[in-house]
Structure 1
Amino acid sequence: MYPNLYYAFRDLLGLEIPFLKIFQTFGFFVAIAFLAGAYILTRELKRYEAQGLLKGIPEKVIAGLPASPAEIIGNATVGFLLGFKVLGIAFQWDKASQDFQGYIFSNQGSWITGIALGALMAWYKYATKKKDALPKPEEKMVMVMPHHRVPDIIVMAAIAGLLGAKIFHNLENWNDFVQDPISALLSFSGLTFYGGLIVAAIVIISYARKKGFNIRALIDSAAPALMLAYAIGRMGCHFSGDGDWGIYNSAYGIDSNTGHSVKMAPAAFNDVVQKNSSFFLQQYSSVDKIPHAAFEKPAALGFLPDWFFAYGYPHNVIKEGIQLAGCEGQYCKVLPTAVYPTPLYEIIVCLVLFGLLWAIRKKVKIPGVIFGIYLILNGVERFFIEKIRVDTRYDIFGFHPTQAEIISTLLVIGGIVLIGYYRKKNSAANTLS
């Protein structure tokens, strides 16, 4: 596993670049997911614009204004934070290099570089705006197309999605949250996708209505982008080892010397549990309640590596498990027995589903239906992967679903209703015409 990009470059390219330790692997893939989503969304919005389903909105702008106090203060603030933290690393390397994540979230930093860079960026904003300022600012109308608003949409999706993902995760794991709320809120792990999706959708659709978007065309445009972004985001989960993995595969153990998966008799699982009972009892009230299912690699799939079915996530970013022999440093843990690498399964399935949505997007002519298909595909995929994922389960009238199973079921129902509604609405419109 690669907790941050330093480990990825070291293991894959043989390059040791200490500065890369500040770039978390999970955060890197989340950033790539947003960029990929933005690219696909922009392409689809332009396609719908060319078809006349999405139109531009004229907006009034004033050219030639000098920099406002808010703009100068905003630039100064960004500059100060970058200088205080990022450039400050060079001045406090001994402290920062020991724990970059802890350093970023601490009150440590360089006041000198913070103030200097803040002042420089404030002056730059003032100077550039003054250069373009007119003796008398001019008011004019410009046509803003929907695809021009993608940067705004992505920023809102990032902020709202992060908040929603944190809120839903902490609601699902309330007992852990109340024990240490600060760590729960600041941790890079502990994000619930559906929480982010729901909150971001509410915020973006509200914004789109204010800007006069055709909502049906917008959500259809977003469907392939959402599926691709989710697949790439899951890469961050898998390659960093953020704890978002499956239940234990009791047909495999872990070699603590290498971190590799090794086959073992399912009965030996109890021996592993007893040997590492202190680890398991930190998570489960009893060793009898440890979720596991034995599944050995089928002979027909012999070409696949064992870690495809059972993985120990060595060097995981959350530092969970037992000590790896001969390993020194922060990230030297491996799970005592193998788990199903569910993020890997979701990466593969969601890339296939993205390809499917991309292939049919031009063939489906009824606006809104593509998004309905996305909801069904997303819900079915997540519902079945939950069967081998570790999640909090609720007790509802004798059933024990996870939060994701409840929401995924509602998404499938919602997708079916949405497709039926828009098909019926389209048929009625054709009849009237």
Structure 2
Amino acid sequence: MYPNLYYAFHDLFGVDIPLLKLLQTFGFFVAVAFLAAAYVLTSELKRREQLGWLTGVPEKVITGKPVNMTEVLIHGVLGFVLGYKILGLASDWAEASQDLQSYILSSRGNLLGGIALGGFFAYLKYRSAKKQELPKPKEETITIMPHQRVPDFTVMAAVAGLLGAKIFHNLENWGDFVQDPIGSLLSFSGLTFYGGLILASIVIIRYAAKKGINIWHLIDSAAPALMLAYGVGRMGCHFSGDGDWGIYNSGYITDATGKVLSVDPSKFQEVLKANEQFFMRQYGSLEHIPHAAFAKPGGLSFLPDWFFAYGYPHNVINEGIQMAGCTGKYCSVLPIAVYPTALYEIIACLLLFVVLWSLRKKITVPGVIFGVYLIMNGLERFFIEKIRVNTKYDIFGFRPTQAEIISSLMIIGGAALVWYCRKIYKAPKPVA
């Protein structure tokens, strides 16, 4: 596993770049997911604009306004923070390089560097604004097309998505949140995709409605982008080992070096007792450890064992037992291999993205593509939940997880949306 990009570059290319420790693998893939989704969304919006299904909205803008000192101050503060930390790293590199994350989040830094870079940033912003200033500001009317709003959508999705993902995760793990509310809110782990999707969707749809963008064509355009973003984001979960994995595959164990070994399922209880302290800390008992044995079928012998069971060595949350001969911050491996559910979702969602991308020109009734997306995403997540570890709710004798409840609602809602849209809308014709 690669907790941060330092480990990835060191393992893949044999280079040693300590500064890469600042870049978390999970965060890197989340950023890539947003960029990929923005590109796909922009492309699809442009296509629908060319067909005349989406049109621009005139807006009044004022050019040549006087220098905004608030913006100058914000740039100055940003420069101060960067200078404070960068110069601090340069002057205290020997100690700071041992744990760059802790250093960045601490109050340590270089005051002189902060003041110098802060002043420089403020000057650049002031100079740029002064050049654009006119003796008398002018009011102009310009037409803004929907695809030009994508940067706004991306920022809103990032902020609202992170907030929603945190809220839903803490609701699902209320006991952990109550014990350490500050740590739960500020930790890098603990994000629920559906929470982010729901809140981000609400915020973006409200914004689009205010800007006069056709909501049906917007959500249809977003469907392939959302599926792609989910698949790429899951890469961050898998390659960092953020704990978003499945139940134990009791047909495999991992040795102290992290290698996966196929064993008889009867070995499961023996390994549980050998690592009793770890499992008791996680589950409080050895009686109800979630597991299911599944050995690699003969017809799939070409696939590696870690496709069916993985120990996530060097995982970013330090879950598991100490690895032999390992020193440093990330030296844990799971004693019993788990189903790499994030890997399965990567494959499934990338394939579903291809399906949605190929359907977007064939299905022209507004809203249907998004309905299909809801059904596909709901089905994918519903079935993967069967081998994932999640908090279960007791509802009239049923014990579903939060994701199973939401994914079931997505399937039902998607089917209803397809039926409704096909009933009331006809396929749009391109504007001549």
What residue in structure 2 maps to residue 171 of structure 1?
A: 171
Partner of residue 269, structure 1: 268
Q: CA deviation at 1:90?
A: 2.1
Do the aligned residues in 2 keep the contact of 1:376 with 1:415 (CA within 8 Å)?
yes
CA contact (8 A) 1:2 1:316 kept: yes
* Equivalent pair of 1:382/1:405 in contact (CA under 8 Å): yes
- Residue 367 (1) aligns with residue 373 (2): no
Which residue of structure 2 lines up, in the alignment, with residue 382 of structure 1? 381
Cα deviation, 1:159-216, whole Å, max 9, x if unaligned, reads 0000000000001001111111122111111000000000000100010011011000
Q: Which moved more, 1:299-308 or 1:114-123?
A: 114-123
2:184: which partner in 1?
184
Query: 2: distance between equivalents of 1:340 and 1:392?
Result: 17
Structure 2 residues not aligned, in runs of 5+: none
How far apart are the structure 2 equivalents of 1:155 and 1:429? 30
Q: Could you say what secondary structure the match of 2:140 adopts?
A: strand
Cross-structure match for 2:339 = 340
Measure the CA separation in 1 of the matches of 2:246 and 2:86. 36
The Cα shift of 1:86 comes to 4.2
- Residue 78 of structure 1 corresponds to 78
CA distance in 2, matches of 1:334, 1:90: 34
1:103 Cα deviation after fit: 2.3
Mean CA deviation greater in 112-121 or 364-373:
112-121
Tell me how far 1:421 sits from its aligned partner: 0.6
Task: Say which is worse superposed, 301-310 or 98-107, in terms of deviation.
Answer: 98-107
Does the 8 Å CA contact 2:251/2:262 hold for their aligned counterparts? yes
Q: Match for residue 16 of structure 1?
A: 16
**Which runs of structure 2 are paired with 1:25-424 in the superposition (5 Å)?**
25-256=25-256, 258-424=257-423
Q: CA RMSD in A?
A: 1.4
Q: Secondary structure at the match of 1:393?
A: coil
* Preserved contact between residue 66 and residue 126 of structure 1 (Cα < 8 Å): no
Q: Is the 8 A contact 2:38 2:225 kept in 1?
A: yes
How far apart, CA to CA, are the structure 1 residues paired with 2:408 and 2:49? 33
CA distance in structure 2 between the aligned counterparts of 1:82 and 1:238, rounded to whole angstroms: 31
Cα distance change, pair 391–134 in 1 and its aligned pair in 2 (3 A): same
- Cα 1:12–1:383 change in 2 (3 A) is same
Instruction: Quote the sequence identity (%).
Output: 67
TM-superposed deviation, 1:301: 0.2
CA change 1:28–1:291 in 2 (3 A) is: same
C-alpha displacement of 1:124: 0.5
Name the CA distance, whole Å, in 2 between partners of 1:429 and 1:21: 51
Aligned 8 A contact 2:246 2:387 in 1? yes
Question: Unmatched 5+ residue regions in structure 1?
Answer: none
Tell me, what secondary structure is at the counterpart of 1:282? helix
| TM-score normalised per structure 2 | 0.97
Instruction: Provide, for residues 6-52 of structure 1, a one-character-per-residue CA deviation record: whole Å limited to 9, x for no partner.
Output: 10000000111111110000000000000000000000111111111
Residues 239-272 of structure 1 show CA distances to partners (whole Å, capped at 9, x for unaligned) of 000000000000000011x211001111111111
User: In the aligned structure 1, how far is the partner of 2:223 from the partner of 2:365?
Assistant: 14
Q: Counterpart amino acid of 1:283?
A: Q
The residue type equivalent to 1:71 in the other structure is E
CA contact (8 A) 2:364 2:427 kept: no
- Please give the secondary structure, in 2, of the residue aligned with 1:337: coil
Deviation at 1:326, TM superposition (A): 0.6
